[in-house]
Chain A
Amino acid sequence: MAELTYRDAVAAAIAQEMERDENVVFLGEDIGGAGGVFKATVGLLERFGPTRVRDTPISEMAILGAAMGAAMTGLRPIAEIMFSDFLAVCWDMPANQMAKTRYMSGGQITLPLVVRTANGGGLRFGAQHSQAVENWAMAVPGLKVVAPSSAADVKGLLAAAIRDPDPVIFFEAKELYPLKGEVPDGEHVDRLGTAKVLRAGKDCTILALAAMVSRALEAAERLAREGIDATVVDIRSLVPLDTQTILRETIATGRLYTVEENPRLCGWGAEIASIVAEEAFWDLDAPIVRITTPHAPLPAADVLEDGARPSVERIVNTVRTTLG
Chain B
Amino acid sequence: MNVALYELMYRLRVFEKRAYDLFLQNLVKGTSHLALGQEAVAAGFASAMRHDDWTFCTYRGHDHTLARGASMTGCMAELLGRANGVLTGKGGSMHLGAADKHAMGSYAIVGAHMCIALGAGWTAQYKATQQVAVCFFGDGTTNIGAFHEALNMAAVWKLPVVFVCENNMYMEYTPIGSVTAVKRPAADRAAAYGLEAIVIDGNDADACYSTALTAYERARRGEGPSLIEALTYRQGGHSRADPAKYRPDAEVEAWMKRDPVPAYRARLLAGGVEDSALAAIEAAAQAEIDAATEAAKNGPLPSLDEIEKDTWADGTSTWRN
Measured between beta carbons, the chain B residues less than 8 angstroms from A65 are: 112-119, 146, 149-150
Is the Cβ of B119 less than 8 Å from the Cβ of A166?
Answer: no
Is the Cβ of B117 less than 8 Å from the Cβ of A69?
Answer: yes
A296 at the interface (CB under 8 A from B): no
B237 to chain A, nearest CB (A): 24
B136 at the interface (CB under 8 A from A): no
Q: Which of A96, A97, A142, A239 has the most CB of B within 10 A?
A: A97
Give the A-B pair count, Cβ closer than 8 A: 163
A64 at the interface (CB under 8 A from B): yes
Is the Cβ of A61 less than 8 Å from the Cβ of B319?
Answer: no
Interface members, chain B 81-104 (any A CB < 8 Å) = 85-91, 95, 97-100, 104
Is the Cβ of B311 less than 8 Å from the Cβ of A102?
Answer: yes
Q: Which residue of B lies closest to A97 (CB)?
A: B112
A106 at the interface (CB under 8 A from B): yes
Tell whether A97 pairs with B119 under 8 Å between CB atoms, given A61-B145, A107-B309.
Answer: no
Q: Which of B119, B133, B145 has the most CB of A within 10 A?
A: B119
Tell whether A75 pairs with B123 under 8 Å between CB atoms, given A68-B116, A105-B91.
Answer: yes
A71 to chain B, nearest CB (A): 7
Measured between beta carbons, the chain B residues less than 8 angstroms from A56 are: 153
Measured between beta carbons, the chain A residues less than 8 angstroms from B146 are: 61-62, 65
Chain B interfacial residues counted at CB < 8 A: 56
Measured between beta carbons, the chain B residues less than 8 angstroms from A64 are: 115
Binary CB contact string for chain A from 34 to 71 against chain B (1 if under 8 A, 0 otherwise) = 00000000000000000110101101111011111111
Binary CB contact string for chain A from 2 to 37 against chain B (1 if under 8 A, 0 otherwise) = 000000000000000000000001000000000000
Tell whether A59 pairs with B119 under 8 Å between CB atoms, given A166-B312, A241-B319.
Answer: no
**Which of B122, B309, B310 is the one whose CB lies under 8 Å from A75?**
B122
Complex: A279 Cα to B145 Cα, angstroms: 46
A211 at the interface (CB under 8 A from B): no
A→B interface (CB under 8 Å): 25, 51-52, 54, 56-57, 59-62, 64-75, 77, 92-93, 96-97, 101-110, 112, 141-142, 165-166, 193, 239-244, 275
Known: A103-B311, A241-B321. 17 other contacts (CB 8 A): A51-B126, A52-B126, A57-B149, A62-B118, A62-B149, A65-B117, A69-B104, A73-B54, A97-B109, A102-B310, A105-B90, A108-B98, A109-B99, A109-B104, A142-B311, A241-B319, A244-B321
Q: 15 A-B Cβ contacts within 8 A?
A: A25-B122, A25-B126, A57-B153, A60-B149, A62-B153, A66-B122, A66-B153, A69-B120, A73-B123, A74-B127, A92-B109, A96-B109, A107-B315, A110-B313, A112-B313
